[in-house]
Amino acid sequence: MTNLLSEIKDSAQLKNLFFRLLVVFIICFTLSFLTEAFFTVNNLLNVLRQASLLFLMASGVTLVILTAGIDLSIGANVGMSACLAAVVMTNTGSTLLGFLTGIGSGMLIGVGNGLLVTTLRLPSFIATYGMLWILHGVTYYFMGGATINGFDKSFRFIGSGYLYGVPVPIYIMLIFLVVGTLFTKDTVYGQQVYAVGANPVAARLSGVPVNRRLMLVYILSGMTAGLASLVYLARLNSAEGDIGEALTLPAIAAVLIGGTSLFGGIGTIFGTLIGALILTLVLNGMNILSIDGNWQALVTGVIIILSVLLDLVFRRKSSTG
């Protein structure tokens, strides 16, 4: 019976992913019909490069949301980690130390979030929202209004370099897609993450170390934020106090648009990639068509609402079918 239910769930998720892939193709077809500027190599590579940063952040958030949690500190994490990495690279001249600082900072912030949720029993919304403001405050104070730029070419390569004509961030995105998919689908840890999100009480009674798995997903979310901060920093070639502020909601939106349920237990890393592509394609198309930025925000909000509504319909059909 358990195997049968698992097969039904997997089949439903495949249909969910197929629907979202269909949306990607419809958007691409529509934009190619509306403007010749869309279906060019440079524009498509630009879309993938923009989606790659969004996906790096969203892949870690996906794991948190799979446990029915949320990480609202992701953008502030990117900002603080980027600024710390920038300072270290500027003062030491070492790209390696900058890398270690950025990723280490992200992971430590993830540890802080995890402890607030597992030890103090704070709701993830409150814990990570509070962390967001703490990180913004510390980053602003730390930077003191200064801007740091002019990094080494070897570092900038990960954000603005090309390999065989393809932007490097796209390769990083594909690596994370493979690793993230293998982790969630083919490891005990990944399966336990799904179990915690589906029913934490049943998972605990089944022997799943719930608190440790929650700590794990927040640490991984922090780590991906740290890596994203380095890619973002290398792309911009500049760091200042407000870097990363605008990235939180798009990252969470990509997860939801990709079919991961806010209620936990349902979703895939590949779905998050599709969500990042949908969001990036829509914004790219509106930019090409010179549509006012206010409409872009409105359309993004509508897409998120429709995605959550689709998730609710999907859950109702799964429970009654």
Whether residue 321 is contained in a domain is answered as no
Contact yes or no for 136/236 (Cβ under 8 A) = no
Whether the CB-CB separation of 255 and 58 falls below 8 Å is answered with: yes
pLDDT of 6 above 70: no
CB atoms within 10 A of CB 30: 13
> What is the pLDDT of the chain when averaged over all its residues?
89
C-beta of residue 43 within 8 angstroms of C-beta of residue 193:
no
Is 6 contained in some domain?
Answer: no
CATH number at residue 36: 1.10.3470
Domain contains 320: no
- Report if residue 189 sits inside a domain: yes
Residue 262 lies in domain: 12-315
Q: Is residue 7 one of the residues assigned to a domain?
A: no
Q: pLDDT of 269-294, one tens digit each?
A: 999 999 999 999 999 999 998 888 77
Count the neighbouring beta carbons within 10 Å of the beta carbon of residue 1: 5
**Is pLDDT at 84 greater than 50 in this prediction?**
yes
Rounded percentage of the chain residues whose pLDDT exceeds 90: 69
CA–CA distance, 220 with 214 (Å, rounded to integer):
10
β-pairing, 238-239 vs 166-167, is unpaired
Helix ranges (H only) for 241-292 are 248-257, 269-288
Asked if residue 206 is part of any domain, the answer here is yes
Across 53-79, average pLDDT = 95
Is 240 among the domain residues? yes
pLDDT in tens, 11-58: 666 777 888 888 899 999 999 988 888 889 999 999 999 999 999 999
d(CA 288, CA 295): 14
> In angstroms, how far apart are the furthest CA atoms of the chain?
61
Number of domains in the chain: 1
3 within a domain of the structure (yes/no): no
Residue 5 has pLDDT above 50, yes or no: no
Distance CA 231, CA 106 (A): 13
